[in-house]
Structure 1
Amino acid sequence: MDLVLDLIVSVVSVAVIAQYSWSLKAHFNSPKMPTGTVVISVVVLTTAAIYLTLLWIETQPVLALSIGLVVECLALWLFWAAIKASRAARLKMAFDVQNPHGLVMTGPYRYLRHPFYTSYLIFWVGWAIATWSLWSVIPLAVITVIYVLAALGEERKFSRTPMAADYASYREKTGFFWPRLPGVAKG
């Protein structure tokens, strides 16, 4: 059973990364791949190699593999919901120097400002759970820092556009990576 679950988690994880990679060319609209996106791609491939290695050289509890797989699937659902909501917006890639040209507030964007990054983080958390190794925390921390920096940079770019006031209002209503809980002050 463990071998089958290891194989399923491996195939699903690689398939999710392939879909994320597909979005770079088919969904996001940057004239060229920004250096920061290249860095993310290298970190993604490195983290995937580490997680695959951990998955296959260590033994994980069936529950960890199962929970990790479910979490990865939830991340993929959020990713496709964000794709659907932002298809017409033609968003820029991470770390693109160009200012945003539109504001998406439908689909998962109604609840959080960065559903793509949230889906990526949920995916990596799921895979880290599936590896059931403390070693998975190091690449998870690195990739989290990169996504936070990318999202903060995108938020700063909105302040330089005619949408600055609209974005400030939107920020008050939505969470950064996680939905804002009703009655909880902005933090």
Structure 2
Amino acid sequence: MEFMLDLAVSVVSLLVVGFYTWSLRGHFYSPKMATGAKLISAVVIATTLFFLYLAWYEHQVAWVQIVGLVIEICAAALFWWAVSASRKARLRFAFDPDHPDSIVTTGPYRYLRHPFYTSYLMFWSGWAIASSSTWAVVPVIAFVIIYVSAALGEEKKFSKSPLAPEYEAYRRKTGFLIPRFDQR
């Protein structure tokens, strides 16, 4: 049973990391990758290797692995929902210095402003939970800092763009990284 759960967590996790890697060229668009986006890529590689090590060389609790796996699958579903909703928007990489030229308000964007970052944080948290290691919290904290910084930077760019009034109205009725369902 432990081998099968280790295998399932590893395969699903690598598949989701593959989705995220695909999005760098298949969904997001920027003339060049900003330093912050390169940092994210390096942290993703290091964390993937670290979590794979934990999966195969440390003992995990079966029910905890299952909970983590379910969270990872939910994160992947949110990711693809966000891809579907923003396909035509030509979103930029994290930390891209250019101002945004559109606002996406459909799909998960109806409830939260940064569904990609939310899906990434859910995924890394799910994998950390599945690893059953307190050390797994360290990279998750790093990802929280990186993704919150990226999201705040994007919000600042919106506030200085011609889209500022429209974005401010959108911001007031949606959640930042946690969905807001009361659409006042």
TM-score bucket of the superposed structures, by smaller chain: over 0.9
Tell me which residue corresponds to 1:164.
164
- Does residue 22 of the first structure (1) align with residue 25 of the second (2)? no
Could you say if the C-alpha distance between residues 46 and 163 of structure 1 is closer, same or farther in structure 2, counting changes exceeding 3 Å? Answer: same
Tell me which residue corresponds to 1:62.
62
The letter of the residue matching 1:61 is V
1:31-180, aligned counterparts within 5 Å?
Answer: 31-180=31-180
Alignment RMSD (CA, Å) = 1.3
CA deviation string 1:14-69 (max 9, x = no partner): 11001100000010010111111000000011111111111111111110111111
Partners of 2:28 and 2:81 in 1: CA distance: 15
The letter of the residue matching 2:34 is P
Partners of 2:113 and 2:22 in 1: CA distance: 22
Range with bigger deviation, 102-111 or 49-58: 49-58
The letter of the residue matching 2:45 is L
The letter of the residue matching 1:32 is K
Query: How far apart are 1:181 and its partner, in Å?
Result: 5.3
Taking every aligned residue pair, what percent have the same amino acid on both sides? 55
Structure 1 gaps of 5+ residues are: none
- Count of paired positions: 184
Partners of 2:179 and 2:9 in 1: CA distance: 27
Query: How far apart are 1:100 and its partner, in Å?
Result: 0.3
